[in-house]
Amino acid sequence: MKRLPQLALASLTLLLASCNRVSPPAAPSGTTAYGLTTSGMLATFGTDNAAASYRTLSISGLASGDTLVSLDYRNTDGRLYAATSNGRLYRIDPQTGVATQDSAAVGQGVVTVDFNPSANRLRVIGTNNMNYRLTLGAAPVPSASPAGTVTPDGIFAYAAGDVNAGKTPELVAAAYTNSFNDSATGSVPAGSTTALYSFDAAQDVLVMHDVGPQFSTLKTVAPLGVNVMAGMVGFDISGMSTAYASVSSGGKTTLYRVNLAASSQALSAVSTLNDVSLRDLALVPASR
């Protein structure tokens, strides 16, 4: 009879232990997204179950003093890349968090980057209206622009007659359409086209860029309906037009669906990540 209290205590201990066990995050559902947290971690989640699938991973291998500010998937090699504020470009292994430096440098004052899926070059947008294209060092390298080639594309300005004509834009996030995984061939299908969209924090609007290669002329699409600022907003497109944005404020991040053809508010909230602050967002390219 004396053993009964001991058995009861042991059972209670096991019950409490099982109750306190933390369940692993769910598998990402929808489009898989990667984010950069303001604390320098790599986040992973699904757009359809962001809170349930959210997990983070430490990033290693950065040079001393480097801070990652923007990231994007490259469609021609299926790899994740990130840019630092002081001009370096890294390839990030999403499984281990290991960062490997690319031979190309993106330049000082980087705000956001995005790969042009039709040209296999990186669009770099920065402070003081910085706007140029960069060819990476990692293969595949376009024959027309050797590794490390930097092509300045002039300053951004609203088109004459646009509702925001004459106003100075502050572009803080950008994404190209028609982003598919072409890593199997390492090349873009002939005749492939794309369009560039971005967020202007000065006007809080979604803008579309005139067709490249400069992409420097802006046309207002619609109000975002949300206040955005550099370093606290991410935007990316997977496939032809599946677009999402992350906006961080007050210690939490809201995930939005972006309507690229909106006439009123372009952003509609999908979910909220509490106690999470993301500074950028990258979607895995869709399969063809």
Domain ranges of the chain: 24-283
- Give the residue carrying structure tokens 């960069």: 134
Predicted TM-score of the model (pTM): 0.91
d(CA 166, CA 241): 29
Question: What's the average model confidence in pLDDT over 200-226?
Answer: 97
Token code pair at residue 237:
């497109």
Q: List the beta bridge partners of residue 134.
A: 122, 150
Whether 120 has a pLDDT exceeding 60, the answer reads yes
Question: What's the average model confidence in pLDDT over 29-43?
Answer: 97
Q: In angstroms, what CA-CA distances link 78 with 28, 74, 199, 268, 269?
A: 18, 6, 25, 29, 28
> Rg (Cα) of the chain, in Å, rounded?
21
CB 236 within 8 A of CB 226: no
Q: List the beta bridge partners of residue 88.
A: 105
CATH code, 24-283: 2.120.10
pLDDT of residue 1: 46
Dump pLDDT digits (tens) for 16-32.
Answer: 555 555 678 999 999 99
Omega before 213 within 30 of 0, i.e. cis: yes
pLDDT of residue 9: 56
Mean pLDDT estimate for the chain: 92
CB 66 within 8 A of CB 60: no
